């Protein structure tokens, strides 16, 4: 990994400047133009300190350092930067040293002994998942994988929305009309139909609203009959969700929905009261914030005594910290809930919990469609299932045009169709809204998941054609521009994975995967591999193998399927 060289440079440079090497490591960066070197040290801060011109300092330091750093073959000064070139031999040795433990690629022990509880996907049940659920599901799963790679012990929670007065209505509808519906096919569709029917009837017969409320009260009081119906609603919903989760490879460790906290809400109220934080406002119990926070108060109990979303999230956070022993609490939820999480985290802080600092709302922007914003009314909601099916369908068509003899066509279409959606989602800076454009999702030679998958397939087909096991030992030096560039990219994998996790930004990894694929492509086009002089062929095959291993590891972390052929 690139860190090996950073440490080496930092040690010598730190010694020379009389500064701790950890400080130098932090300022080492990747030069904008690779020809300048592999690592750069900006001298501007130093120039200020010493009241000298940056270029002069850089030139002076370059002179003093030349020949002093074992694995650095060239040091140059350029407009205020010190540029270091790692020697080709050292670079190559480090790449293939890493490949000896491919399962550890990208891994660190940074999170060892620490637990992360990550809440992601978390749909509201009895409703189908729509395309908007792709983001929390896919980003959450990637962050979970990244956390594990950094040594954290992770508990992935599905905080489903399984509580609220609507379940009273649904339970009533199930009880009275349910026998007319076959829940063995499309169960959520039936639940939605029942819910819509309930509202249509309630418009004509206001008595129904009362019935719904009564039924919810019964549910709250634990009436076994109503509880049974409500549990059925959850079960039916999950039948649908599980199919989608299986397609996307989504895995939670536990489902602890909002209802799980029913018996833990009073404790939240008690804790707030003990700190005198609960105030009455228009009949409701609320927590007020200081003016500087400029946030509306956080409602804990509505005027009818009912708890709300925030109360449950307070209980959930306390549970995650105290029972599940979380060191970091991560919530992958859309940016429309930013205020909610700001309020919840602030209340935790006001309760005196310093661990509120380790609560992170990983927010994200939404999908936008050319024909307007996705709507959940008027039946214009775009179902997640339909988006996945369409992607697979389009890939199936592409395969029948481009590669009709491909084996396991259906399987490959699924892997590519799903991989394309996942990659496209992760490639976008999560904070921004995403323009959903099928051409970009599926373009084979563009910035897409299929392109990354295809690069790996190319590596694997070379390895197959090569015919013998690829050896990583006794290789010839590969010092052409393309080979060096590819190796340098491979060396950065570790750094990229760490940064992706630290910033909770899987797009850093996705961008890297495109760079790696592009650099492999240049290498492949420029350097003959099969049929070369055997020693060269052997070495280049080792580089193909290193690329394949890195691509696979990257796709695993992003939770993309990895097709063997395309």
122 or 550, CB closer to ligand ARG? Answer: 122
Closest CB to ligand ARG among residues 164, 518: 164
* 285 and 269 Cβ atoms separated by less than 8 Å: yes
> Phi first, then psi: what are they for 29, rounded to 5°?
-130, 175
Rounded to a whole number of angstroms, the minimum distance from the CB of residue 170 to ligand ARG is 16
Q: Per CB under 6 A, does 119 bind ligand ARG?
A: yes
Structure tokens that stand for 508 in this block: 């850093």
Q: In the complex, what is the shortest distance from the CB of residue 159 to ligand ARG, in angstroms, rounded to a whole number?
A: 4
The full DSSP string for 416-459 is HHHHHHHHHHHHS-TTS-EE--HHHHH-SSSSSHHHHHHHHHHH
Taking CB under 6 A as the binding criterion, the range among 20-28, 31-39, 91-99, 116-124 that sits at the site for ligand ARG is: 116-124
Smaller CB separation from ligand ARG, 127 or 190: 127
CB of 419 to ligand ARG, least distance (A): 25
Residue among 37, 54, 128, 161 that touches ligand ARG (CB under 6 A):
161
Minimum distance of ligand ARG from residue 62's CB (angstroms)? 53
Q: How far is the CB of 306 from ligand ARG (least distance, A)?
A: 17
Residue 361, phi then psi, degrees to nearest 5: -90, 110
Kindly state the smallest distance separating residue 350's Cβ from ligand ARG, in Å: 19
Query: Looking only at residues 329 through 358 of this chain, which bind ligand ARG when binding is defined by CB under 6 A?
Result: 331, 333
**DSSP one-letter code for 217:** H
Angstrom distance (rounded) from CA 96 to CA 490: 10
């190559």: which residue's tokens?
Answer: 92
* Torsions phi, psi for 330 (to 5 deg): -115, 135
State which residue, 331 or 504, has the beta carbon closest to ligand ARG: 331
Q: Helix crossing, 449-466 with 409-427: angle to 10°?
A: 130
CA–CA gap between residue 305 and residue 165 (Å, rounded): 13
Binding mask 67-106 for ligand ARG (x = CB under 6 A): ----------------------------------------
- Looking at the Cβ atoms of 161 and 506, the one nearer to ligand ARG is 161
| Total binding residues toward ligand ARG, as defined by CB under 6 A | 10
Residue placing its CB nearer to ligand ARG in the complex, 159 or 271: 159
**Phi, psi of 309, rounded to the nearest 5 degrees:** -45, -45
CB of 354 to ligand ARG, least distance (A): 21
Give me the least distance between CB of 368 and ligand ARG, in Å please.
18
Residues 77, 83 contacting (CB under 8 angstroms):
yes
Radius of gyration of the chain measured on its C-alpha atoms? 28
- Candidates 240, 313, 415, 425: give the one binding ligand ARG (CB under 6 A): 313
Which secondary structure element, helix H or strand E, spans residue 83, and what is its range?
strand 81-86
Q: How many CB atoms lie within 10 A of CB 274?
A: 11
Shortest Cβ 301–ligand ARG spacing (Å): 18
Please give the structure tokens belonging to residue 124: 């509201």
The answer to whether 257 contacts ligand ARG (rule: CB under 6 A) is: no
Rounded least distance, CB 320 to ligand ARG, Å: 9
Interacting residue with ligand ARG among 159, 321, 361, 414 (CB under 6 A): 159
Q: Which stretch binds ligand ARG (CB under 6 A): 85-93, 119-127, 172-180, 459-467?
A: 119-127
Instruction: Tell me how far CA of residue 200 lies from CA of 5, 193, 208, in angstroms.
Output: 69, 10, 10
Q: Which is nearer to ligand ARG, 122 or 250 (CB)?
A: 122
Judge contact between 129 and 384, C-beta under 8 A: yes
Rule CB under 6 A: say whether 324 interacts with ligand ARG.
no
The nearer residue to ligand ARG, 42 or 164, going by C-beta atoms, is 164
Sheet holding 153-158, edge to edge: 254-255, 153-158, 115-120, 328-332, 359-362
Least CB distance from residue 258 to ligand ARG, whole Å?
Answer: 7
Q: Which is nearer to ligand ARG, 111 or 161 (CB)?
A: 161
* Residue span binding ligand ARG (CB under 6 A) among the ranges 118-126, 273-281, 365-373, 419-427: 118-126
Q: Is 122 in the site for ligand ARG (CB under 6 A)?
A: yes
Establish if 124 lies at the interface with ligand ARG (CB under 6 A). Answer: yes
Cβ closer to ligand ARG: 19 or 335?
Answer: 335
Please report how close the Cβ of residue 127 comes to ligand ARG at its closest, in angstroms.
9
Helix H or strand E encompassing 320: helix 309-322
C-beta of 268 vs 546, nearer to ligand ARG? 268
Cα first-last separation, the chain? 31
- The answer to whether 67 touches 5, Cβ cutoff 8 Å, is no
At closest approach, how far in Å is the CB of 520 from ligand ARG? 39
Pairwise CA distance, residues 78 & 62, whole Å:
10
Pick one of 28, 61, 316, 388: the residue that binds ligand ARG (CB under 6 A): 316
- The least CB distance from residue 248 to ligand ARG, in Å, is 17
Q: Which residues contact 386 (CB under 8 A, 6 or more apart)?
A: none
Residue 78: closest CA among 102, 61, 95 = 61
Nearer CB in complex with ligand ARG: 119/240? 119
241 scored as a contact of ligand ARG (CB under 6 A): no
What residues contact residue 45 under an 8 Å CB cut-off, 6+ apart? Answer: 27
As a residue count, the chain comes to: 566
Interface with ligand ARG (CB under 6 A): 119, 122-124, 159, 161, 313, 316, 331, 333
């Amino acid at each position: 990994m690139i860190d090996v060289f950073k440490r080496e440079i930092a040690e010598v440079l730190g010694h020379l400047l009389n500064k701790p090497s950890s400080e130098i490591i932090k300022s080492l960066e990747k030069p904008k133009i690779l020809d300048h070197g592999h690592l750069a040290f900006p001298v501007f801060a130093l120039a200020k300190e010493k009241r000298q011109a940056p270029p002069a300092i850089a030139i002076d330091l370059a002179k003093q350092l030349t020949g002093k750093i074992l694995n650095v073959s060239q040091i140059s000064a350029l407009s205020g930067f010190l540029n270091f070139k790692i020697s080709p031999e050292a670079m190559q040795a480090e790449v293939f040293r890493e490949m000896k433990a491919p399962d550890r690629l990208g891994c660190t022990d940074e999170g060892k002994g620490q637990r992360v509880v990550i809440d992601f996907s978390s749909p509201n049940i009895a409703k189908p998942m729509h395309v908007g659920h792709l983001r929390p599901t896919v980003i959450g799963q990637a962050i979970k994988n990244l956390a594990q790679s950094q040594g954290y012990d992770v508990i992935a929670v599905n905080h489903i929305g399984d509580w609220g007065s609507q379940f009273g209505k649904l339970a009533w509808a199930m009880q009275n009309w349910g026998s007319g519906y076959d829940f063995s096919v499309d169960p959520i569709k039936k639940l939605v139909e029942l819910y819509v029917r309930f509202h249509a009837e309630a418009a004509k017969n206001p008595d129904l609203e009362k019935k719904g409320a009564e039924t919810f009260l019964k549910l709250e009081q634990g009436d076994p009959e109503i509880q049974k119906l409500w549990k059925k609603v959850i079960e039916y919903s999950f039948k649908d969700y599980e199919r989608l989760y299986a397609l996307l490879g989504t895995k939670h460790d536990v489902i602890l929905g909002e209802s799980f906290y029913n018996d833990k809400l009073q404790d939240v109220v008690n804790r707030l009261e003990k700190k005198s934080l609960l105030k009455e406002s228009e009949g409701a119990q609320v927590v007020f914030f200081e003016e500087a926070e400029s946030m509306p108060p956080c409602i804990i109990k509505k005027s009818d005594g009912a708890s709300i979303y925030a109360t449950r999230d307070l209980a959930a956070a306390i549970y995650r910290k105290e029972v599940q022993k979380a060191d970091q609490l991560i919530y992958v939820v859309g940016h429309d809930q930013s205020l909610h999480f700001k309020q919840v985290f602030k209340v935790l802080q006001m309760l005196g919990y310093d661990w509120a600092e380790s609560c992170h709302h990983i927010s994200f922007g939404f999908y936008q469609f050319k024909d307007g914003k996705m709507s959940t009314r008027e039946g214009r909601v775009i179902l997640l299932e339909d988006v996945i099916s369409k992607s697979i369908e389009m890939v199936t068509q592409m395969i029948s045009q481009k590669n009709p003899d491909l084996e396991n066509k259906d399987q490959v279409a699924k892997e590519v169709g799903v991989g394309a959606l996942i990659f496209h989602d992760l490639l976008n800076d999560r904070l921004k809204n995403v323009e959903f454009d099928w051409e970009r999702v599926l373009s084979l030679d563009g910035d897409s998941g299929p392109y990354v998958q295809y690069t790996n397939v190319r590596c694997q087909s070379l390895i197959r054609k090569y015919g013998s096991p690829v050896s990583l030992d006794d290789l010839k030096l590969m010092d052409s521009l393309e080979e060096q560039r590819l190796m340098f990219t491979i060396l950065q994998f570790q750094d990229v994975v760490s940064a992706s996790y630290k910033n909770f930004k899987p797009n850093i990894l996705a961008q890297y995967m495109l760079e790696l694929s592009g650099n492999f492509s240049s290498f492949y086009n420029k350097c003959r591999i099969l049929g070369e002089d055997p020693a060269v062929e052997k070495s280049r095959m080792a580089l193909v193998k290193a690329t394949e291993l890195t691509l696979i590891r990257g796709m695993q972390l992003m939770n993309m399927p990895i097709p063997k052929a395309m």
